[in-house]
Chain A
């Protein structure tokens, strides 16, 4: 029988939750890296037992952790004395060293002035689809890095910041590359999303990038609502069988593109509010998508205190609330952008974590929900692995 492994990053450590394919009885492991913020963990599709984790601290900075046994043991790759010396005996880069390539340059600051790029933390790690030693890291201040040695060293793909990076600016949560989508059909095509820079695409493995924000409108965030860059994109997602169709949860508005980002169309439809953070696509139905509407940019909790996932089976516009098993009164949690995911089983499982420390699972495509855990630290990210 298949096995499910949830990788949850929280404000105070990582947790690994496992169950069989019935997704009813769960074992909870952790906390790992207790007391540290774990922004994200993700397993390699090429080797599911290889898991990367971003461990961060306002005091002590950024650490990259790696497990090669499914999360039982962890190491900081590239940090042994032997690994730290090159063939001539000189020190080289480490797993927690993220240095911008060349002149770091500047981006737009809150007061409109230009501000130097400063590395703060890794928000998201996206392992390669076919090489367990290769992974991408989306970081704050916004940039994308790549490792080809299992996380021992990281090198920036600097062309992303050349895509009008001087016009990007931080939102309230900072300025970060938070979403990285690797196209499984077109080699070299990668999408990224940045708050608050917008969405970008490369077709040559990161040598060049183009903004793909036509159709986005941000009248309350930008002086030019149709600006080429600067939009606060909260999350993008695609179905791997149809990677030219990308769905977006923007600061406000839910959108879709059917041509790899050349143009976006709003599909918020009948949502009670189109503000929110996560968006994801059903594993077997490319037109079925999920969002969690949040009241507003000023009030980061569900409208009316009712925690509702909304599902569209038509790729947007027509949405239905999914409430069975979710709290329908006095609920004032948030669901962050990296805290929703789907498994590969049939029926598809949907998972999300909350800032209140719950992780919810729906084993039936959203029809019903149950909290796997109630009292974790605030959940920053949720990933799921379907293991056979």
Chain B
């Protein structure tokens, strides 16, 4: 299971408290984890990635194991710590504003 930390507003939208766990079949990539997350919580479709292009929304960032993966392509494998469930995959609302 991959553990995902959602930002406050998306936790509330999805109706969850704390981390969420999703199972991923096949390679554990950024795109595969997001696919599983959206399948489990359909209300999150369009909030992290654009509907049509599946591009990351500009003010959403992806962190894992102290790395910023936001600019990596969707087929990028996640670090082993995330795959093993020891470390979370963080979806973060970017800092914006003053």
Asked if A90 is at the interface (CB within 8 A of a chain B CB), the reply is no
Q: Is B84 close to A, CB under 8 A?
A: no
A96 part of interface (Cβ distance < 8 Å): yes
A81, B59: Cβ atoms closer than 8 Å: no
Number of A-B residue pairs having CB atoms within 8 Å of each other in the complex: 55
Say whether A97 contacts B45, CB under 8 Å. yes
Q: Are B48 and A60 in contact (CB under 8 A)?
A: yes
Q: What distance in Å separates the Cβ of A258 from its nearest Cβ neighbour in chain B?
A: 43
- The SS class assigned to the A binding surface is loop
When A36-B9, A99-B51, A99-B52 are in contact, do A60 and B60 touch as well, CB less than 8 Å? yes
Q: Chain B residues with Cβ under 8 A from A62's Cβ? A: 46
- Least CB distance from B44 to A in Å reads 9
Name A81's contact: one of B42, B93, B96 (CB within 8 Å). B42
Q: Is the CB of A58 within 8 A of B46?
A: no
Minimum CB–CB distance for A253 against chain B, Å: 35
A35-B9, A99-B51, A99-B52 as given contacts; A61 in contact with B57, CB under 8 Å: yes
Contact partner, A59, options B39, B42, B43, B96, Cβ 8 Å = B96
Binding site for A on B (CB under 8 A): 7-10, 13, 39, 42-43, 45-48, 50-52, 57, 59-60, 93-94, 96
Given contacts A57-B47, A60-B9, A94-B46, could you give 13 more A-B pairs where the C-beta distance is less than 8 Å? A36-B9, A59-B9, A59-B94, A60-B7, A60-B47, A60-B48, A60-B60, A60-B93, A80-B42, A81-B42, A96-B45, A96-B47, A97-B45
Report A's interface with B, CB cutoff 8 A.
35-36, 57-63, 76, 79-81, 84, 94, 96-97, 99
